[in-house]
Amino acid sequence: MLIDTFGRSHNNLRISVTDRCNLRCTYCMPEEVVFMDRAELLTFEEITHFTCVAASLGIDKLRLTGGEPLLRRDLPRLVRMVAAVPGIKDVGLTTNGLLLPQQAQALFDAGLRRINISLDTLDPERFRAISRRDGLEQVLAGIAAAKKAGFSPIKINAVSIRGLTEQDVVPLARFAREQGLEMRFIEYMPIGAQAWERRKVYFAHEILEQLERDVAPLVPAEDYDPHAPAMDFQYSDGGGRVGIIASVSRPFCMSCNRLRLTSDGKLRNCLFALGEVDIKPLLRGTRDDARLAEMIRQNVRDKWEGHEINTARFIKPQRTMHAIGG
Ligand code: SAM
Ligand code: SF4
């Protein structure tokens, strides 16, 4: 088992498959960006090999992300490969949804069942202001395609930024209720290219107040897990679920069970880690699984207590979100 020096057990691996994106969300990446050379990206075989070694150490849950993962050619093939790794019980995907109309069915047929689609607003102009691109209609078509393919549950991720997306909370929550989707609001974190300020975070308790006032009363979900990243609620009128990821106002570091693999083969033990371990030479050169397993164990042992977003000590990582994997 991968247990760190704070007793946290790690079974969850987020795999970024590309740093490229067809949007340029202001909170995530700069407008002008030089993407990694494709030769730097781990191949599907290398990702699967890493997954095999990680699974032998207790990783059983994966999430594919990016950048925009659907930009990686033939992603359903990777889904099949990693889902077949002995010990892997669960594979999820986080996407901006733009390419789902073309790919949802193939991903479902490859065995993917859990999907998170990011959507911050239902207003086309604000969509363009936030993502620096058009695409709202495509994302809505992507959500419809995911429903048609049979994905369930479908979670919608929205970043909560004061003065920008607080006006979207109620319309998004109502949309999700109507469509049978699970809404998840994520507090804005200091991991993008923009200068972040704590006062720009639209906090979990404010979102909850808005939902209770203008949508419907909420109660903690029956399966509410106080240690999980999302605070899960359900509408008391039976209208579905809402999750809030309060990374800033209610950090969940002490129950973190995650490791991250970047698309260029760097292992990170925290989204906000300042250091990372290059494992590509052990996948691409002379393979040495015993050494790779030891590097994964050591990376877990090196994990710090938690991010220090709320302290003056906080240092923003050099990589922005799209290059780490959200
Ligand atoms: N491109 C895909 C997408 O947008 O879903 C996957 C990668 S994206 C980096 C993963 C998630 O991170 C998205 O839901 C996005 O909204 C979220 N995210 C990006 N930057 C963020 C920030 N500064 N604070 C909070 N969430 C952020
Ligand atoms: Fe792309 Fe996702 Fe980042 Fe938006 S949040 S720029 S869609 S990687």
Q: pLDDT category, 227, cuts 50, 70, 90? A: low
> What are the pLDDT digits (tens) for 275-322?
999 999 999 988 899 999 999 999 999 999 999 898 989 999 999 999
Which ligand 2 atom minimizes the distance to the CA of 96? 7
Domain assignment present for residue 2? The answer is no
**Does any domain span residue 33?**
yes
Point out the ligand 2 atom lying closest to the alpha carbon of residue 131: 4
The predicted structure's pLDDT at residue 88: 98
**Residue 225 confidence (pLDDT) above 90:** no
In a domain, 6, yes or no: no
Minimum CA distance residue for ligand 2 atom 8: 67
pLDDT of res. 129: 97
pLDDT digits (tens, 9 = 90+) for 3-29: 999 999 999 999 999 999 999 999 999
Q: What integer pLDDT is reported at residue 285 of this predicted model?
A: 80
Atom 19 in ligand 1: residue holding the nearest Cα:
28
pLDDT band at residue 50 using 50, 70 and 90 as cut-offs:
very high
- The long-range contacts involving 166-171, CB below 8 angstroms and separated by at least 24 positions, are 166/202, 166/206, 166/210, 168/120, 168/121, 168/122, 168/123, 168/126, 169/202, 169/207, 169/210, 169/211, 170/210, 170/211, 170/214, 170/215, 171/121, 171/122, 171/123
What confidence tens digit (pLDDT) does each residue in 57-115 have?
A: 999 999 999 999 999 999 999 999 999 999 999 999 999 999 999 999 999 999 999 99
Ligand 2, atom 4, residue with closest C-alpha: 25
How many whole angstroms from 157 Cα to the centroid of ligand 1?
8
| In-domain check, residue 301 | yes
Would you say residue 285 lies in a domain?
Answer: yes
Within 6 A (CB) of ligand 2 lie 21, 23-25, 28-29, 66-68, 96, 118, 131, 321-322
Task: State in Å: Cα 122 to ligand 2 middle.
Answer: 17
Model pLDDT for residues 184-216, shown as the tens digit of each residue = 999 999 998 889 999 999 999 999 999 999 999
Number of domains in the chain: 1
Is 1 inside any structural domain? no
Residue nearest to atom 1 of ligand 1 (CA): 68
What is the residue range of 117's domain? 12-324
In the 3-class helix/strand/coil scheme, how is 143-159 assigned residue by residue?
A: HHHHHHHCCCCEEEEEE
State which ligand 1 atom lies nearest to the alpha carbon of 16. Answer: 7
String of b and e for 13-45 (b: at least 16 CB within 10 Å)?
Answer: bbbbbbbbbebbbbbbbeeeeeeeeeeebbebe
| CATH number assigned to the domain comprising residue 57 | 3.20.20.70
